[in-house]
Every structure is written in structure tokens, then in C-alpha cells.
Chain A
Amino acid sequence: MNIYWEAFLSCFKIGCFTIGGGYAMIPLIEEEFVERKKWISKNDFIDILALAQSAPGILAINVAIFIGYRLKGIRGSITTALGTALPSFVIILTIALFFQNFKDNAIIQHVFKGIRPAVVALIAVPVFKMAKTAKITYRNIFIPIVSALLIWLFGVSPIWIIILAGLGGFIYGRITNKTENR
């Protein structure tokens, strides 16, 4: 089988069956490309994952582009990105086409009245989970609090928060490095 086609199918399959967002896709991508196809070594995959997480954009797409590039350069990366994105594109487009028609239906309205606050809770939970993994201490807890308040109360664009936080980390790192080198 042509390697492009094979890589496309692998990504398409993963894109079809991973419910629950990009993070759920990572172990499947590893299983497929590292364990089964052996196209990428375990260590390479760990490096790719770390880099994909520090780049902006959709994590699963970033990983797919990395793997595709390793396999067959730019054409390979287009193949894997397309394979990863296509299933959700088709499914959501289908839903969008139909949802418009019955979203005003009374039953659907009632169902979504229950779902909406629950979804807001599902967005709130990772805040507490991530606070643990991101090593939030009393010294840096002002960063998430100030960021959230600026966006929520003052309508500041998250883009500015991203730029400021990145810049802050960069400058802080440069200063601490200098004092350590002395």
C-alpha cells in the first residue's frame, strides 16, 4: 500500500473514534505510529509531543503534522493533517446542517437547558485539575487570577494575555539565568 494512503487511513481511523477532544487522541496516535507501524521511535514521539504542546494550535493536528513531516516531508504532513481533521469536519458539518432545523424544537430546547450549565461545569473542572499539574504556588497564582479577571470583567482579548504571559516568562527566565551565571 502507498505510504501516503496508509498514513492517511491511520489518521482518519484515529480521527473517527476518539471522542473527547484532542488529548484523547494522543495515546491512539502513539499506539498506531510507534507500536504498530513503527514509523516513529518511542523517544522521538516523546520529543514530538513536547514540542507540539509548546506550539500554538490544535494539539492532535500539531502531532499529526510532525509525524507526517517525519515520514514524507511537507506532502506527508498535509496527508496526516487532512486525515486527522476530516472525520470531525464531516461529522460536525452534518450536525450543523441538521441542527439548524430542529434546534427550535421544544424537546431539544428542554434537553439543552439541562446540558448548558453542565457543560460550563465541565469547563470549570480542568481549571482545578490543571492548577495541580502546572505547579501553581502562592508565588504565581496571581497569573491565572489576573488573566481570568482581565478577560472576564474587562473584556481583554486572550491574545494579549498570551503575549504578555509569554513575554513575562521570557524576561523572567533571562533575569534569573543572569543571576545564576554570576
Chain B
Amino acid sequence: MSIYLQLFLTFFKIGLFGFGGGYGMLSLIQNEVVERNGWISASEFTDIVAISQMTPGPIGINSATYIGYTATNSVLGSCIATFAVILPSFIIILTICHFFSKFKKNTDVQHIMQGLRPAVIGLIAAAALLLINEENFVDYLSWIFFAGAFLLNKYCKVHPILIIVFAGIAGFIVYGVF
């Protein structure tokens, strides 16, 4: 199968089953792109998440655009992946718009969401667990970076961008200077 078709199908799937916002999509993207297709490595995937945090726009678009390019080495790949991740939204939202009032009051939809919400938390946890690997955690210092970032974000509410900047500077000093 052509890489472009593969790219289209993969990102269409991600758009179709990506529930629970950007973080909820992460384990899906990681599973399809890193584990199944091997288009990028786990550390490259982590880099994309870091870059996404620091640049505007939704993480789903950012990863589609970036992976589309790296998988094919072409701008066309970027366009196809980005288009494919948005396409299911179009089909689904336009269908919902058509049956708007019915959909809103539908208790089945509410029940489905009640099942999905706790699962999405598991999905995010899985994304974090999968990224704790030798590629991202090279030595014991990595765990200090991890713990520091976790505590600063969770308890001191430090903004993710600031944490990434701090971690980058600290990484440069610890690994580069010493």
C-alpha cells in the first residue's frame, strides 16, 4: 500500500476514535504512529508533544502535520495527514447538526459518554506510561527532571511552557556543560 494511503487511513482512524481532547488522543497517535507503523521513534514523538505545547494550535493538528512530513519527507504527506485527521470531525459534526435537537436530549449518548470519560483517563495514563522508556529516560537525572516537572505543574501550577523552557535550559547545563 502506498505510504500516502497508509498515512491517510491512519490519521482518519485517529480522528474517528480520538475522544477526550488532545491528551486523550496521545495514546492513540502513539499506538498507530510509533508502535504499528514505526514512522517516528518514541523520543521523536515526545519531542512533538514538547513542540506542540510551545506552539499555537491543537496537538492533533500539530502531530498530524509533523508526522505527515517526517513519514514521507514531503509537504504532501503533511497535507494528507492533516486533512485525514479533520475529515471524520466534518462527517460527524455535520451529521449531528442535522439531528441537533434529537442528539442533544439522547440519553444513550450521555450513557456512552459516561463510559468513555473514565476510559479516557486510562488512555492518558497509558500514553505517559508508554513514554517512560529508555529513549526518554536515559539516566537517573531523567527521573529528577520528571519529578520536578510533575511537582511544579501539579502543585505549584507552573505553566507547561515555562516548565519545558526550564527543563531545556537545565538539560543543556547538566548534559552539555558538565
* Interfacial residues, chain A to chain B (CB-CB below 8 A): 15-23, 25, 47, 50-62, 65-66, 69-70, 74, 77, 81, 85, 87-89, 91-93, 95-97, 99-100, 103, 106-107, 109-131, 134, 136, 140-141, 143-148, 151-152, 155, 157-159, 161-170, 172-174, 177
Contact = CB atoms under 8 A, between A and B. Distances in A.
Interface string B117-155: 111111111111111100111100011011111100110
Contacts of A151: 27, 31, 122-123, 126, 130
Interface of B: 13, 15-19, 21-23, 25-28, 31-32, 35, 43, 46-47, 49-62, 65-66, 69-70, 75, 78, 82, 85-86, 88-90, 92-94, 96-97, 100, 103-104, 107-132, 135-138, 142-143, 145-150, 153-154, 159-161, 163-164, 166-172, 174-176
B131 A158 contact: no
Of all A-B residue pairs in the complex, the 3 with the closest CB atoms, nearest first, are A114-B171, A169-B115, A88-B57
B92 A116 contact: no
A123 B168 CA distance: 17
Given A19-B56, A158-B27, A165-B115, A118 B149 contact: yes
A111 B117 CA distance: 35
Contact of B15 (A58, A161, A168): A58
A121 B123 CA distance: 15
A155 B56 contact: no
B56 A57 contact: no
B87 to A, nearest CB: 9
A152 B130 contact: yes
A22 B59 contact: yes
B125 A144 contact: yes
Given A16-B56, A19-B161, A107-B172, A117 B86 contact: no
Nearest to A106: B176
A116 B46 contact: yes
Contact of A113 (B35, B131, B138): B138
A54 B52 CA distance: 23
Contacts of B88: 56-57
A25 B145 CA distance: 29
A128 B128 CA distance: 12
A152 B35 CA distance: 11
A141 B71 CA distance: 37
A110 to B, nearest CB: 4
A173 B107 contact: yes
Contacts of B171: 110-115
